[in-house]
Amino acid sequence: VLRQLKVHDKEYKLSPKENDLLHLLCVHRNDFMPRELALRKIWKKENYFTARSMDVYIAKLRKLLRDDEGVEIINVHGEGFRLVVKH
Name the H helices within 1-87.
Answer: 16-27, 35-38, 48-65
pLDDT at 21: 98
**Per-residue pLDDT tens over the stretch 6-47:** 999 999 999 999 999 999 999 999 999 999 999 999 999 988
| Predicted confidence band of residue 2 (pLDDT cuts 50, 70, 90) | confident
**Per-residue pLDDT tens over the stretch 40-49:** 999 999 888 9
Domains and CATH numbers, the chain: 4-71 (1.10.10.10)
Tell me if 68 sits within 8 A of 8, measured CB to CB.
yes
pLDDT at 46: 87
Q: How far apart are alpha carbons 40 and 49 in whole angstroms?
A: 13
Q: How far apart are alpha carbons 44 and 82 in whole angstroms?
A: 21
